[in-house]
Amino acid sequence: MPAAVERIHAWLEAHENKLISYTQDLLRIPTIEAEPLPGAPFGAANRQALDVVLGWARSSGMRAVDMEGYCGYAEFGSGSAQIASFGHIDVVPVGPGWKHDPFGAEIDGDYLYARGAVDDKGPTVASFFALCAIHECFPDLGVTFRQFFGCNEESGFHCIEHYAAREPAPSFGIAPDSGWPLYYAEKGILNLELTVPLFGQKMQLRSAEGGQRPNIVIDSASAHVGVLPEARATVEQALADAWDRNVTYAWEGNELGLFAIGKASHGSRPFGGDSAAIRLFRFLTEIAPDEDKPVYDALMDLTQLGGAGLGIAGADEPSRDLTNNLGIVKTEAGALQLLFNIRYPVTWTSDDIVRRCRAHLAELPLSATLATSRDAPPLYFPLEHPLVGIIIDAYEAETGERKKPGAMGGGTYARAIANTVSIGTGWEGDGEAHETDERVKVAHLLRMSKIYARILHDLALAAKNP
């Protein structure tokens, strides 16, 4: 190991307890987007967290920049070349079913539990400490280093857009928010919004609700249907035979209320969760009278995880299959609103998807109208790009493992900033992003920080001596 890297690692080892303590402090702030306030466009908690991390930067002797509460960064060094790490300090909502306080930052056994432990507060603090180590050991390597702190990654990317419109792109950038050693391909992200008038002849859909964010698998959902008297016996018999014990129901006169529970997961991996909305729609199909089954079946079909029910299934070689997550279900103005979070292959365009979806919807018994909201184009880095090779080599030097870059459906800051790729955040045993009881192994914080430091150091040398 080069002497410079040994020195940086020794500093990190000596400050491991501080790394853990800082991580816990940040995890205890409930940085879920809330109502905007002056100087706090994403709410008071996100403002508080930004003040905390910028305070760390100042106390470490770095320059701290607050960009109107949207985001901020810590900076040191000199030179025209810039090496940057992009992390975010906001988190997705919590949802039910936690065994640990989601903002308690409790250490239980070998693990630290909290929302944001792996996505993305733990890795962001580990990255900041990597830069602290470089700053303490080599305060001027002839390049400028930055640690970015974003406040709106999970619900809009407005933070990174604000930054990108005002600051130059780095010479090399990393976003610690994916898998090892890096992800060279990130699928496109498109939200499809379907509006379906409430339907049904003998079993009339009156409402359905569920979901917190488009990029989370729905973990609880409810619906109400009105059942005509002549169909009640048929529906009651179907209820007696229905198999899904994750769906409960109760009658109020001739209205049937249903409630389903599932398991949350990141919307880029809908197969990693258990959608309560899918359970609910399947249950409704099972109990519907024959006259209504086709339309309820079409509704359930829309939720297919590969997108076939929307007419958009497919794959490419770099990034594999398209995925479809029904993230929001709600009822407004006599219509069912369905928001699907689509992660599409890197060689596709959103226009292709919309065209195919419209053609498919026209053939269904549902009278659905289609709109789009978020459209984040794919990211695709050639494997021969120097940034890719440097990260692969640095990861191998630190771990002894030569790994191929991966492709994913998740979206990171890398797609919003030129010359930037996403890199890993944990290992086997750590929890999945957006899941209940999110966790990171305590020892992995230091391990991540050492690898980040090696990557940032090596990128600095490459940028200085191209």
CA dist 123 and 108 (Å) reads 19
- Which positions ≥6 away from 240 have C-beta within 8 Å? none
Only one residue has tokens 């984040």, namely: 376
Residue 246 pLDDT: 97
**Cβ of 314: how many Cβ atoms within 10 Å?**
15
* Residues 282-305: tens digit of each pLDDT: 999 999 999 999 999 999 999 999
* Residues 455-464: tens digit of each pLDDT: 999 999 999 8
Residue 108 sits at φ, ψ, to 5 deg, of -125, 110
Mean pLDDT of 106-129: 98
Strand partners of residue 323: 343
* Residues 210-232: tens digit of each pLDDT: 998 999 999 999 999 999 999 99
Residue 96 — pLDDT band, cuts 50, 70, 90?
confident
CA dist 395 and 76 (Å) reads 24
Residue 148 — pLDDT band, cuts 50, 70, 90?
very high
For the cut 80, the answer to whether the pLDDT of residue 263 exceeds it is yes
Calculate the average pLDDT of the chain.
96
Residue 393 pLDDT: 97
Q: Locate the domains of the chain by residue range.
A: 3-187+379-464, 188-376
Residue 409 pLDDT: 87
For the cut 80, the answer to whether the pLDDT of residue 466 exceeds it is no
Residue 270 pLDDT: 96
Q: What's the fold here for domain 3-187+379-464? A: Aminopeptidase (3.40.630)
Q: What's the fold here for domain 188-376? A: Alpha-Beta Plaits (3.30.70)
Tell me what percent of the residues of the chain surpass a pLDDT of 90: 92
Residue 411 pLDDT: 84
CA dist 309 and 324 (Å) reads 10
- From residue 309, give the alpha-carbon distance in Å to each of 180, 197, 273, 409: 33, 18, 19, 19
Mean pLDDT of 62-77: 98
Only one residue has tokens 């792109």, namely: 169
Determine which helix (DSSP H) or strand (DSSP E) holds 443, and give its type and residue range: helix 442-464
Write the single-letter amino acid at 444: H
**Cβ of 230: how many Cβ atoms within 10 Å?**
9
CA dist 220 and 279 (Å) reads 10
CA dist 312 and 314 (Å) reads 6
